[in-house]
Amino acid sequence: VVLGAYDERCALTGLKLLNGGGRAEVAAAHIRPVEASGPDIVSNGIALSGTAHWMFDRGLITLSDGLEILISRQANDPDGIRGFINRTGRAFTPLRPHDRPHPHFLGWHRENCFKQ
């Protein structure tokens, strides 16, 4: 459902890459993990490519409530990350407002995962 909401496009890079079988090379990621009492709902999910998912889970990138992509000061290659994310510096979002990342979950990610 999350991948459909994002049109199978990575929210951070904007890339919509398809493998040889026509399957999108993007995965649904939880903003607040289920293990941390995060619900399994679209507004607690985001579509991410493999590298973006890895950086998000490790707190090297996160999103502001306004969906600006924030890069950790602890990242060893912030310029490389800036070149990797889309040029706008903001996450791509689903068209339907109630499918967009909820500020409650984004705040949890910034407070509990993001490496300031």
Q: What is the pLDDT of residues 16-43, one digit of tens each?
A: 988 888 888 899 999 999 999 999 999 9
DSSP conformation letters of 53-90: HHHHHTTSEEE-TT-BEEE-TT-S-HHHHHHHS-TTSB
Nearest Cα to Cα of residue 39 among 92, 101, 114: 101
At residue 23, the pLDDT reads 85
DSSP conformation letters of 29-44: EESS-GGGT--SSGGG
State which residues of the chain have pLDDT below 50: none
What is the maximum alpha-carbon separation in the chain?
A: 39
Is the entire prediction scored with pTM above 0.85?
yes
